[in-house]
Amino acid sequence: MSLAQQVVRGATVSDAWLSAVETVDAVPERRMFHLVTCIDDPASERPRIRAAVDALLGDLDLSTVKTVTNTIFPAEMAARSQDHTDLAARYRRVYPILRRLHPGNRLGTYFGRIVAHPAAAGEHDQLGELIRRLNTELRTRGPKAARYEMNVAGPGDPAGPAGFGCVGDPADAGPVHVYAVGRDTSPMGFPCLSFCSFQLDDDLLHMVAHYRYQYLVQRGYGNYLGLGQLLGYVSALTGLRPGQLMIVAGIAAVDAPRYRIAQVLASARDH
């Protein structure tokens, strides 16, 4: 597999996913280093593309888009919760059940790592801390642009390994961790999402998410949508507008037969 960086862009989650799949599917090994996907409106979808993706996932006996999305952001639970504190508490109550019910959740879910990150001092709600930090900065003159992250370093270590936190840098925005140091020792599997970083741009809130490896068919669309919903949620609780979502994949792969991808592309574009 050769180094073949690409940047793809889409107006909606659906368009961006389609462009990402087409780009990676076109290379000989159907795997690519350093795929960057930019979504201008990460709260929007195109129903025809979404339906084609769900049909493909059903045919391949894979989890639906909604199931994958919920591992990153449980939108229905959030809608029924009074505020973020309520949402985090409700999720933590059902988290042990979610981990038992599905083998793929044995090590946790991404949203679980966000609101109940394992730490030496106990579970840590990174999302609540992120929202608090944003609201604090927004009440000051000249709020910092970038100190709002959920990243690879352990909670309580703002600098992280090798200075990942960029403490004191006004362009750096603070941590939401997924990876648990000392616990996530498997070279494969969960968590492939390493960190989420938020950037404040006047009244816009942008977001960057980094994956070490991303299966674009099995989880890609749900990943994009879940991250977009997470960005929308944080924006709503801080009085900001959701900006651009950027997803960086260390390696991105198209993990379905090529003829099936051609069928999805044809179905999505058949007007």
Query: According to the model, what pLDDT value does residue 169 have?
Result: 32
Tally DSSP H helices, then E strands, for the chain.
9, 8
Is 223 in contact with 211 (CB distance < 8 Å)? yes
| Sequence-distant (≥ 6) Cβ neighbours of residue 56 within 8 angstroms | 217, 256, 260, 263, 264
Task: Please choose, from the candidates 11, 45, 7, 34, the residue with its C-alpha nearest in 3D space to the C-alpha of residue 268.
Answer: 45
- Where the chain has pLDDT below 70, the residues are 1-4, 103-104, 106, 120, 122, 147, 150-191, 270-271
Query: According to the model, what pLDDT value does residue 155 have?
Result: 40
Query: According to the model, what pLDDT value does residue 269 have?
Result: 73
Query: According to the model, what pLDDT value does residue 228 have?
Result: 98
| Residue ranges of E strands in 20-134 | 31-41
pTM of the model: 0.83
Query: According to the model, what pLDDT value does residue 226 have?
Result: 97
Is 260 in contact with 61 (CB distance < 8 Å)? no
* b/e sequence 171-190, b meaning 16+ C-beta within 10 Å: ebbbbbbbbbbeebeeeeeb
Sort 194 into a burial class: Cβ within 10 Å, 0-12 / 13-18 / 19+: middle
Query: According to the model, what pLDDT value does residue 10 have?
Result: 97
3-state DSSP assignment of residue 36: strand
| Sequence-distant (≥ 6) Cβ neighbours of residue 141 within 8 angstroms | none
Give the CATH fold of the 6-269 domain: Thymidylate Synthase; Chain A (3.30.572)
Report the length, in residues, of the chain. 271
